[in-house]
Amino acid sequence: MTSPAFVRTLLAAITLTACASAAWSQEVVLKVAHFLPPGSTAHAKFITPWCDKINKESAGKLKCQIYPAMQLGGTPPQLIDQARDGIADIVWTLPGYSAGRFPAVEAFELPFMTKTAEGSSRALWEYVQVNKLDQTEFKDVHPILFHVHDKGQLHLVKGPIKAMVDFKGLKLRAPTRQTNKFLAALGATPVGMPVPQVSDALSKGVIDGAMLPWEVVPSVKVQELVKFHSESDPNSRAMYTTAFIFAMNKAKYDSLSPELKKVIDANSGAEASAWVGKVWDQSATGARKLAADRGNQFNTIGLDELRKWEQAGQVVVDSWVNEVTAKGFDGKALLKSAHDLIQKYDPQ
């Protein structure tokens, strides 16, 4: 005769199995928000393919509803909090849009650090893990991947920049605190603003040019608003780059079944970060061609001149080391960690 205890245990096991099966079979729609238009590289070549991939690998159980161009409301600097608070389930944004809030990750935004977006994106993911920034700076969200963009260049209205003296008197857009400081060190007047504001600022003469990677130029039509493009020597490291995060609401991630978590995890991490970086590297050529086809003028800043810029930018590096050290990090150790990992994946 079967004991009542055995029956209760059996029923409990059946219930748990049924619940697990129901959780796996239930469709989950993820609200994914970002700040660029649907035609942007981020939307068309990264976020949409990523969403398609998790949909396929989950047998249709994970679906995305993508909200480009801040369609959920708010401003680009608020995206990280939208992920934290559950307004969006996943966001793509720049930690640097929240000035001073994520100082340790800014190591990758210092002058002349990175070379390719693919190698440095892999390095950035590892940097976050090795230095446990996912448990400190990014503890309020579930990071899916980190990446950087292709080399930042100078896009100008009135004339090219060939030497450091040419920065004097120019009002130039910069995306983050570190690039603002770098432009000031070079002699320009930095004007900080998110990418969506750049076109309007250029057309109204608020700024004389902008620091931008080629990838994002077409999405805000910068090639139609400037006539000059000053690029760093191809053999140099980037004048600057910017760190990005693709992050998920922690409660939303935790609510997924183990099977669906595995799908998200399989599309997260170092490989996913490197893939997105490669997308940015590959996008630069086509974006640059759009400017060339308009007859815009290009000049290359040589290595000797760039060394002068790097020397001028050392004050930015020193300031960052001191600042993060004052906030409880080991600034020198973080800087060495960033350099070593970039060199590991992007040797020169």
> What is d(CA 100, CA 322) in angstroms, rounded to the nearest whole number?
13
Q: Kindly indicate the confidence band of residue 11, based on its pLDDT and cuts at 50, 70 and 90.
A: low
Residue ranges of alpha helices (H) inside 187-268 are 198-203, 250-255, 258-266
Residue 316 phi, psi (nearest 5): -70, -45
Q: Indicate the CATH number for domain 152-240+293-317.
A: 3.40.190.170
> What is d(CA 338, CA 329) in angstroms, rounded to the nearest whole number?
14
Q: Kindly indicate the confidence band of residue 19, based on its pLDDT and cuts at 50, 70 and 90.
A: very low
Q: What's the pLDDT score for residue 7?
A: 46
Q: Kindly indicate the confidence band of residue 71, based on its pLDDT and cuts at 50, 70 and 90.
A: very high
> What is d(CA 134, CA 143) in angstroms, rounded to the nearest whole number?
7
103: pLDDT strictly greater than 60 = yes
**For 220-294, where are the E strands, in sequence order?**
228-232, 243-248
Q: Kindly indicate the confidence band of residue 24, based on its pLDDT and cuts at 50, 70 and 90.
A: very low
Buried b (16+ CB within 10 A) or exposed e, 289-326: ebbeeeebeeeebeeebbeebbebbeebbebbbeebee
Amino acid at 183: L
Residue 158 phi, psi (nearest 5): -95, -25
Name the segment(s) of the chain with CATH classification 3.40.190.170.
Answer: 27-149+242-282, 152-240+293-317
CATH 3.40.190.170 fits 27-149+242-282, yes or no: yes
**For 2-120, where are the E strands, in sequence order?**
28-33, 62-67, 90-93
pLDDT digits (tens, 9 = 90+) for 297-317: 999 999 999 999 999 999 999
* Tokens read off for 220: 């805000």
> What is d(CA 10, CA 6) in angstroms, rounded to the nearest whole number?
6
Q: Give the C-alpha distances (Å, rounded to integers) separating 335 from 103, 147, 313, 316.
A: 12, 17, 15, 12
